[in-house]
């Protein structure tokens, strides 16, 4: 019998439930996942109640089923820790925050895995966007497509200055950002800017992202984490209950919209991605990425 998503989550939680506390760790810092080969590195500072989640899938932190599952499990675990109040999402590879969804999950896919992949992304998005935690994205590098989406689920975005870009560039790959990606963008930068950005597949420089409100701060790369930590202190000065209820009022309807159309959205995605023309577009984009190196 197929396991429900929450049953899979529970199975995953019990698999990685043991907290690892390396001898060298400061006593206030608990490591949920610190092994270098973990795809997601998570630690919770017991003194501040702030967790850090680092994407750790070099070279570009592309999001495959396993990374999405690990993130979902880690976030679920943090949210059940009653003393955890905030989370900073970042990357262990300075220069690349996240290259978006792993295109290999969508290219020549097996239908069962493709469905599970999309459902896991939906679940992660719902958890992140509606999280009871105050969440800050410390965007320390490029953040296209699914990477931009992840940062948009946070309450505040700080990006590193430099040649990095951010945006929902799906149309450049010949694919379409689904309604809940679009809703997240509209809620952040407004309808008109979303129309322009999504149709053109705009990848914004940090300066332009700041101008349109896609990010909240642009700082030097070495200041990204300390700025995120400073900003988090401000968010945590607000009583949790008031902040959480306000967030729920503002974001709840958007989360509900996906929850109500989740199965149809999976069918839509699978039908769309498996079309010959879309597969061709993905192939050309993959070739273009490889050619770039030569």
Closest contact distance (angstroms) between CB of 112 and ligand LQQ7U7AH is 18
Q: Specify the DSSP element, H or E, that contains 205.
A: strand 204-205
Rg (CA), the chain: 18
Q: At what angle do helices 111-129 and 262-273 cross, to 10 degrees?
A: 130
Residue 102 as a binder of ligand LQQ7U7AH (CB under 6 A): the answer is yes
> Which 150-169 residues touch ligand LQQ7U7AH, going by CB under 6 A?
169
Angle CA 119–74–106, to nearest 5:
30
CA distance 1 to 258: 25
Residue 190, SS3?
coil
Among the candidate windows 57-65, 130-138, 191-199, 210-218, which touches ligand LQQ7U7AH by CB under 6 A?
Answer: 57-65
Residue 258 as a binder of ligand LQQ7U7AH (CB under 6 A): the answer is no
Site string for ligand LQQ7U7AH, 5-44 (x = CB under 6 A): ----------------------------------------
Per the annotation, the verdict on 75 as an active-site residue is: no
Per the annotation, the verdict on 169 as an active-site residue is: yes
Query: Please, are residues 51 and 87 in contact by the beta-carbon 8 Å criterion?
Result: yes
CA distance 140 to 15: 30
Among the candidate windows 6-14, 153-161, 232-240, 265-273, which touches ligand LQQ7U7AH by CB under 6 A?
Answer: 265-273
Residue nearer to ligand LQQ7U7AH on the CB measure, 59 or 239: 59
Catalytic residue among 105, 116, 123, 170: 170
Residue nearer to ligand LQQ7U7AH on the CB measure, 31 or 272: 272
Site string for ligand LQQ7U7AH, 123-142 (x = CB under 6 A): -------------------x
Residue 99 as a binder of ligand LQQ7U7AH (CB under 6 A): the answer is yes
Length of the chain in terms of residues written:
294
- Give the phi and the psi of residue 87 in degrees, each rounded to 5: -140, 135
Per the annotation, the verdict on 100 as an active-site residue is: no
Per the annotation, the verdict on 116 as an active-site residue is: no
DSSP string, 22-88: -TTS-TTEEEEE--TT-SEEEEEETTTTEEEEEE--TTTT-B-HHHHHHHHHHHHHHHHSTT--EEE
Residues in contact with ligand LQQ7U7AH by CB under 6 A are 59-60, 62, 96, 99-104, 142, 144-146, 169-170, 173, 175-178, 268-269, 272, 289-290, 292-293
> Active-site residue numbers?
101, 146, 169-170
């Amino acid at each position: 019998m197929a396991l429900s998503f929450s049953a899979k989550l529970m199975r995953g939680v019990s698999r990685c439930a043991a907290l690892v506390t390396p001898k060298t760790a400061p006593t206030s810092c608990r490591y949920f996942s610190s092994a270098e080969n973990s795809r997601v590195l998570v630690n919770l500072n017991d003194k501040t109640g702030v967790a850090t989640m680092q994407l750790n899938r070099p070279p570009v932190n592309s999001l495959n089923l396993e990374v999405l599952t690990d993130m979902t499990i880690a976030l679920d675990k943090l949210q059940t820790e009653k003393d955890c109040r905030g989370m900073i999402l970042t990357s262990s590879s300075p220069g690349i925050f996240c290259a978006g969804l792993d295109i290999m999950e969508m290219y020549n896919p097996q239908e069962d895995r493709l469905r599970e992949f999309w459902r896991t992304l939906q679940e992660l998005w719902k958890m992140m966007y509606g999280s009871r935690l105050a969440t800050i994205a410390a965007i320390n590098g490029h953040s296209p497509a699914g990477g931009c989406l992840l940062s948009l689920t946070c309450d505040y975005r700080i990006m590193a200055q430099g040649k990095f870009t951010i945006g929902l560039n799906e149309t450049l790959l010949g694919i379409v950002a689904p309604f809940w990606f679009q809703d997240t963008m509209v809620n952040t930068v407004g309808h008109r800017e979303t129309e322009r950005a999504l149709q053109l597949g705009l990848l914004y420089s940090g300066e332009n992202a700041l101008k349109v409100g896609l990010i909240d701060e642009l700082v030097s790369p070495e200041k990204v984490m300390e700025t995120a930590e400073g900003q988090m202190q401000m968010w945590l000065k607000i009583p949790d209950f008031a902040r959480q209820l306000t967030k729920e009022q503002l974001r709840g309807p958007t989360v509900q919209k996906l929850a109500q159309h989740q199965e149809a959205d999976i069918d839509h995605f699978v039908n769309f991605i498996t079309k010959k023309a879309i597969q061709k577009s993905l192939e050309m984009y993959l070739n273009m990425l490889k050619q770039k190196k030569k």
